[in-house]
Structures are given as structure tokens and as C-alpha cells.
Amino acid sequence: MPVFPKSEALQALSIFDEDLNHNPTSTDEILRLLSDVGSKATVAQTGGRYFGFVNGGILPSSLCTKWLTDAWDQNAALYVISPIASKIEEICERWLRKLLKFPEETVAGFISGSSTASMCGLLAGRNYLLSNLGYDVTKSGLFNAPEIKVIIGEGAHSTIYKALSILGLGNERLIKVPADDQGRIRIDLIPELDNQTLLILQAGNVNTGAFDAFEGICTKANKARAWVHVDGAFGLWAAACPSMDHLTKGLSLADSWSLDAHKTLNSPYDNGIILCRHKEILVNAMHMTGSYVIYNENRDGMLYTPEMSKRARAIEIWATLKGLGSIGVSELVQELHSKAVYFADQLHEAGFEILNEVVFNQVLVRYHSDEKTEELIKRIQISGICWVGGAKWSEKSVMRISVCSYKTTYTDIDKSIDNMVLLGKSLGLNE
Ligand SMILES: *Cc1c(COP(=O)(O)O)cnc(C)c1O
């Protein structure tokens, strides 16, 4: 199938533009419609030549587990609603803590993605800092709360700004610290930290893949009793790979971390994780009571995230981890990165400009000028051979390549590059 649907397939979607039928439709008919029309309008991100955004593929262990557990349709809110979900969440939490080399007291909540996981981490941090100032925001709300200082690097992901605005911290009233040419926060420009500071760092810039320098600043933050949240959506997995974990040095000194299993780990959507080393603060931030809620001495999943009812998504993470083993996770992380490096080297040789240091999965590519780069991206996107996205980097138009599917082979990369070179030539620039 083409990596991106052909225009006929997209036009055929108009079949869904109908009013809700009065009479029931058979399941067979529903599935036939989806299979015949829907399938053709999907994006082949489970194949080896999808390099858009930072998406990740889906390993068979996790896909098959999803099919089975979807049939179970478990609600992971409470132990008494699903003992199996509770048990597996507990095991996943333990495995992740060990794999990522996090402190013994770290707890995990299983949630839709890094956007929501960051909200949880920043919420816990906000509440902690306000309680340092003698203010109980859970009870009193933000109306008369003392101010806290929010420090963020200019290279932070847009979902962090969104989380801050949802949490009442505003997305403009922040201390924005300039980033270096790779999007790393300039440690030397971070202002004094204190016990009223929420500091947000990043493991894996969405464009360049760059990691902030955690060790020194986290040590300082710990001394000052500031709260550090790390957005590690796809990059945090470097901590599970001995040949890459120099990137995450000192990261375990933070207070909370958000990451995705649906990106680098190749688990299905939607699988985000909030990790926090202050269980009480996280759980208190999510607190809820109701006479019918029966808490258990076993793990109750709803205590760690905002939702009550939720699907038992952790089982897919468990299956992915069990399927790979710790050695397999490490190899997966290493392989994705090695392929990104190969991609960058081959493109460079073919005359493309590589704008970033390729440190983890991401490659930023430029072709002559803004206009030509943008036009090339458009042609690649409709080619059906591969798919790449675009962005602005240092005010220049760039092509973003993200290697994050286990399916991608060196042959896929070669084929994609041949396509890019050919399309480049069709722009009349390479002759
Ligand atoms: C993808 C991504 C996010 C958002 O994660 P979702 O799982 O899409 O909610 C946040 N930060 C970074 C660095 C990302 O790559």
C-alpha cells in the first residue's frame, strides 16, 4: 500500500458523510465498510518507510495482546474491577523503574500519552511547591495562591505549554531560557532555583533529538528543593540502552518524568506513562472520594492518573517489554538510532544538508532553500514511497525525519533516499 493514501481513497471517505441510520446495521456490514473504504485511507505507519512526526510502529507481541485484552474490555480503575490490570500495572511499574534506572520509590501511572503524563507531573510539582509555601491548592484552588516560578527551555515541546495553561500556570508568564543551536536549554542562563521553582527539562527534542544536560542542574535543583519535570516522550528510552545512556546521565535525579510507550518502544496507541518519585504527592493530586469507591490493599490504577474508568493499556506495555526482554529494548533503541545516523550520512552524501547533530532518532534535512525544501516535502508526501514532515528550525524550512519503527530496514532507507533524490531532481535543481 502507499505510505500515504492516494487522493481517490481520500475522496471515497465521503461515504461516511451520512445521517445516523434509523435501523441497526449488522456488524459484518460495519466491518466491510471500514475494511473496504477505511483501510485505504489509513497511513502506513506500521510499515518501514513512515518517518513523520515521532510515531513508532507496533510490535506483534503488543498488537496481539491488544486484540486479546480488547476482548476482555477491562476497566483498570480499581483492583476490584480488574485484578489482572492491577497486577500487570504493578509489574510494569517495577520493570520500568529498573530498566530506566530510576529511584526505588518511583511510581508509574498509565495514561494516554506524554501530553497528559506531563500534565500529571507538572500538577504534582505545582502542588508540592505551593505546599512548601504553606498553601493547599487542592482545597483552596489557585485564586489566592502564592506565586511560583516556572522555568522552561525555549526548545520545550508545545504540549508542555498546553499543560501549563491547563494547570492555571499560564503559557506566557514563564521564565523562558534560551536554547542552544540543538534546542538544549542553556544551563548557564538558568536563573537561581529555589523551593518555589518548577523546572522543566527535556530528553529528546522533537526536532533534533537533543537532550538537556541533566546532571549539574538536577543536583542544584535537588539542593534548592525545586521540582524538576522531564519531558522524555521518546528520548527517555535511551536510559535503557547502555550504549546511549550517556545522554540521560543525571536524569534520575528529577522528580517526575513523562514518556510514551507508543513511540520508541513500539507499543500500540495510546500508551503514555507518568513516573514520579513522590508517590504521596502524585496520589494526593489525583485524589477522589465517593462512597462506592472501594480502595484495595492491591494497586488501584485510578490513584495515579486523572481518569477513573480507563482501558487496561499497561498490559500492552508489559507484553512489549516481556516480548523484547531488557536486551531487546536496548537493541531496539540502539538500532533506531543507528538507522537515523545511516539515513543522515547517506542523505549528506547525496547532496542534502543535515542541520542537526544526530544524537537520537531525529534528522533535520534541508534542500537548497526554504521554497525548494517545502516543495520537496510536498512531493515526498504524495509519492506514497515514504512520508516525512516539515518544520521550521532556526527560521529555516526543514524536512523532519524520525526513525522510530522497528520495521524500518536499511533497504527501506535506501529506497526512501532514492525517492528523495529523484524528486529533488524533478525540481530541476540537481542537474
Ligand atoms: C510526542 C511528544 C509529546 C507529546 O506526546 P503525546 O504522546 O503525543 O501526547 C511531548 N513531548 C515530546 C518531546 C514528544 O515527542
How, if at all, do strands 256-260 and 272-276 pair? Answer: antiparallel
Atom of ligand 1 nearest to the CA of 272: 7
Atom of ligand 1 nearest to the CA of 117: 9
Distance 226 CA to ligand 1 centre (A): 24
Distance 22 CA to ligand 1 centre (A): 40
What's the pLDDT at 293?
A: 78
The answer to whether the CB of 231 is under 6 A from ligand 1 is yes
Residue 295 confidence class, pLDDT cut points 50, 70, 90: confident
- pLDDT tens readout for residues 353-400: 999 999 999 999 999 999 999 999 999 999 999 999 999 999 999 999
Distance 361 CA to ligand 1 centre (A): 14
> CA 74, 80, 85: angle at the middle one, nearest 5?
40
What's the pLDDT at 429?
A: 55
Asked if residue 273 has pLDDT above 60, the reply is yes
- pLDDT tens readout for residues 109-165: 999 999 999 999 999 999 999 999 999 999 999 999 999 999 999 999 999 999 999
Q: In what order do the strands lie in the sheet with 149-153?
A: 107-111, 272-276, 256-260, 227-231, 197-202, 149-153, 175-177
Q: What is the CA radius of gyration of the chain?
A: 23
- 349 or 428, greater pLDDT: 349
The answer to whether the CB of 198 is under 6 A from ligand 1 is no
Whether the CB-CB separation of 346 and 417 falls below 8 Å is answered with yes
Question: Rounded to whole angstroms, how far apart are CA atoms 19 and 383?
Answer: 34
The answer to whether the CB of 206 is under 6 A from ligand 1 is yes
- pLDDT tens readout for residues 162-193: 999 999 999 889 999 999 999 999 999 999 99
The answer to whether the CB of 393 is under 6 A from ligand 1 is no
Selecting from 3.40.50.300, 3.40.640.10, 3.30.1180.20, 3.60.21.10, what CATH number does the domain 61-321 have? 3.40.640.10
What's the pLDDT at 292?
A: 76
The answer to whether the CB of 271 is under 6 A from ligand 1 is no
The answer to whether the CB of 159 is under 6 A from ligand 1 is yes
Whether the CB-CB separation of 407 and 339 falls below 8 Å is answered with no
**Mean pLDDT (whole number) for 36-50:** 97
Distance 8 CA to ligand 1 centre (A): 31
Asked if residue 430 has pLDDT above 50, the reply is no
Place of cell 508526501: 381
DSSP state at residue 179: B
The answer to whether the CB of 362 is under 6 A from ligand 1 is no
What's the pLDDT at 218?
A: 98
- pLDDT tens readout for residues 414-424: 999 999 999 99
The answer to whether the CB of 157 is under 6 A from ligand 1 is yes
* Of 411, 343, 407, nearest in space to 44 by CA: 407
Atom of ligand 1 nearest to the CA of 157: 11
Each domain of the chain, given as residue ranges in start order, spans 7-42, 61-321
Distance 150 CA to ligand 1 centre (A): 20
Asked if residue 58 has pLDDT above 70, the reply is yes
What's the pLDDT at 431?
A: 43
The residues near 269 (Cβ < 8 Å, ≥ 6 apart) are 113, 262
pLDDT averaged over the chain? 96
- pLDDT tens readout for residues 68-110: 999 999 999 999 999 999 999 999 999 999 999 999 999 999 9
Residue 287 confidence class, pLDDT cut points 50, 70, 90: confident
The answer to whether the CB of 54 is under 6 A from ligand 1 is yes
Question: Rounded to whole angstroms, how far apart are CA atoms 304 and 276?
Answer: 10
Distance 60 CA to ligand 1 centre (A): 23
The answer to whether the CB of 397 is under 6 A from ligand 1 is no
Q: 185 vs 202, 314, 419, CA distance in Å?
A: 8, 32, 36
